[in-house]
Structure 1
């Protein structure tokens, strides 16, 4: 495993980070508690010391499972990355920006983007309790909230740093203008953004800016929620309440298959999987600090960690690049 310094902070994070969205179960067709905890333990045992979660993941369940999994472990050797700003419990009293309905099977659960100072502080206290810790290594705004001034949100983050409740502050899904505006109030450690072989938009403006300003990039969805593993073209069936049923529809399946057909023999030649090859490729891209990889059981977690063992030559990177260019 490689460990990389995050932006201007003293944090050293594992290049492959345990993404804990799926273990929350919500929007992923449920979860198995012991498998989820086993995945966290396996990640840590194989050098993945950094765990990324959010209150929204399972409506608090992801945080609780992480808290249970790390109980009794040396907290100084584990980095917890958490988020705030998505409210589903009605505590925002209608304030904020409506995002989407996370309900299923006829149940409505409206989710709002809400990043007021009071809500930031409230969510941090709740997160600390669920995680069973007294500080969060990196706290990130989950999604921009157009109804709250950026400086108000950033002032709340500055306050939490001063109080020692968080060690560093970051954002997620920020565009270039938002990053520049936030800079007027705070020194951001990171921007967590979607990035994959099928989605490289951040290379145009975000990456150059973050490199210039020493802001880390945390890449999420490098496997496009499993699509780039290739297994969903081989008779894998998703549960009806799995959000990927709709998510995968944005991609041209024939182009994705074409890309995977080029990746498969390269992965086989290295005695690895397409998923591991894709993860390793992502960690090697310019400006990417760490890469989130989800796992729902120990075997998947170990595979994710072992992706860092893969060596990709300059010639092989060029072959992959040409395949990606054809798809995009």
Structure 2
């Protein structure tokens, strides 16, 4: 599928950074230019608002600023939007709430998956890597992971389709991908979130000879790198946020990559909520399960490299 990437110069007076910003837009060919521009503008506004708090030690203030800026841009946008995936519930942080309606009501009816600030701790500590992200798909096509905030994920580029399997071991998947890409296992680079829960995963990957890149945050960015052919990351795996998982699925779908997921509650309370909601925790979710349409629109803008209007 085709994609559209937009790059502009960055010179916001409040930005702590220098250089150029890149707002990434995927799937723009599926929607009217006015709506694509509005969605992109929402991520840019959120990034600029979060930048004011860059390195100031208050991640909730940064998140709240990003949420308010993104909401202000989306409210008059030419669509009828319904938030299916809102970030913030698991951390009790500011959020665009599940079930919130956005847009002018004129234009296509869309599900919304949104993370106004993916990487709040990075902004808090003045570190690069955070992004402001939103995805749209036709109404009723986004997976709703009600009451489950974590997901085990396996993500790569197009050659992995029909090759990788979340039910296989990490070692098996690395070997399979190496064969599909035509290179040795020692040249396979795997992105994993730097969390205690991944200690055994990292040990297994390094044990088989793969190169592991640990990320403190930035679930979505690492996944997009993995799904982009020829990028620095070949594979992303491990347990991360479910909201980020659905957002990621929209980008992967637009890129033509591979993704599987499986819900992964991280506490007894989360397990009870998941079972009460009727989720099958053994089910491997494909891209078709996570976003049941090719008509996706994904936009993201990095924080620390925003742009003036």
Q: What range is the shorter-chain TM-score in?
A: under 0.3
What TM-score does the superposition give when structure 1 sets the normalisation length?
0.25
What TM-score does the superposition give when structure 2 sets the normalisation length?
0.26
Q: Looking at both structures, which has the greater relative contact order when contacts are Cα pairs under 8 Å and sequence separation is at least 6?
A: 2
Bigger strand share: 2
